[in-house]
Amino acid sequence: MNATALRSAATVVALSMQEGIRRRVFLAVLVLTLAFLGLYALGAHFAFRDVDEFAAGETEILDPHAFTGATIFGLAMFATLFLGAVLAVFLTLGVVRGDAESGLLQPIVVRPIGRTTMLLARFAGAALLSAAYVVVVYLAAWAITKATGDWSPDHLLGPALGLALAVAIIAALSLLASTVLSVTAQGIVVFMVFGAGLTAGLLAQIGNAINSDSLHTIGRVASWALPFEGLYAAGLHALISGTSGLTGVVLQLGPFGGSEAAGPELIAWAFLYLLGILALAAFVFSRRDL
């Protein structure tokens, strides 16, 4: 890629980000995020206060702060992933077929930038915004948890990067869908895929709780088929990977059940998956008449 192509790509990335920030959905997500963080702060405050009263004198057996902190922060991670997914999908909504039908795409595609570069630039714009968003919300939730209950996860940065990669994958899936589907169908399909991934994660948790190998296997396969779920589960695991004793056992029975560490295989697979989805989107787009 030469300097002109890079400059063109950077121009489209900048336009995509500007456009994304200008969309009403971005404002809606910001308002929802502030509401979520406000409620989270309130909930965390009362959760830590009540658990202190409840567990008074019993802290040698179960660490109430670790239990409460991990549980509510795990929940915050789920909400962050969900809001990040909403943002990623809406930032890529109609990027190919929708924009082609409205006539927005053609004046750009006829320029020397080329279709693949344009598509990757649009992806980069959406993925950067979504990834930055989840990292900021995740860190805000951590700051609230730390301030209200003086608890921090065992690993702070890894889960944040996992969430960022997860929303980038969702953005890529949404971009692929936009090459063939109308705007409405694209939104429905991507949210259904997202829901399917989360359901598979839930199945893995249930499988872990009732010791069902079949359910656990289904969840594991789904985590690889839809690696955003695998990354989320790995992030959950990283929050409490150093928590041992009864606290660790009890947490494993709750929302952290079935979560597994992100080995190098999952990380490598997630990147390969992302590249594969983008390559497929670029191939479909290159063969599409506009």
Partner 1 sequence: MAAPVLAVSQLHKRYGRQEALAGVDLEVEAGQLVGLLGPNGAGKSTLTKIACGLVRPSAGTVEVLGRRAGSPQARAALGYLAELFRFPGWLSAAELLRFHQRLVGSDGGAAERRALLDLVELGDAADKRVEAMSKGMQQRLGIAQALVGSPRLLLLDEPTSALDPVGRRIVRELLEELRGRGVSVLLNSHLLSEVELICDHVAIIARGRLVRAGTPQELAGPGAVVVETGSGVRSFEGAGREEAPAIVAELVAAGESVYRVEVQHSSLEDVYLEAVGGQTG
Residues contributing to the site for partner 1 (CB under 8 A): 4, 7-8, 11-12, 15, 19, 22, 102-104, 106-114, 287, 289-290
Amino acid of residue 40: Y
Identify the CA nearest to 135 among candidates 207, 80, 72, 93. 80
CA 264 to chain CA centroid, nearest Å: 19
CA quadruple 146, 79, 51, 249: dihedral sign: negative
| 37 vs 282, beta carbon nearer partner 1 | 282
- Dist. CA 223–CA 163, nearest whole Å: 14
Dihedrals φ, ψ of 33, to 5°? -65, -45
| 65 vs 97, beta carbon nearer partner 1 | 97
What is the smallest separation between the CB atom of 182 and partner 1, expressed in angstroms? 16
| 108 vs 218, beta carbon nearer partner 1 | 108
What is the smallest separation between the CB atom of 115 and partner 1, expressed in angstroms? 9
What is the smallest separation between the CB atom of 56 and partner 1, expressed in angstroms? 57
What is the smallest separation between the CB atom of 114 and partner 1, expressed in angstroms? 6
CA 140 to chain CA centroid, nearest Å: 16
20, two tokens: 């994304």
| 10 vs 261, beta carbon nearer partner 1 | 10
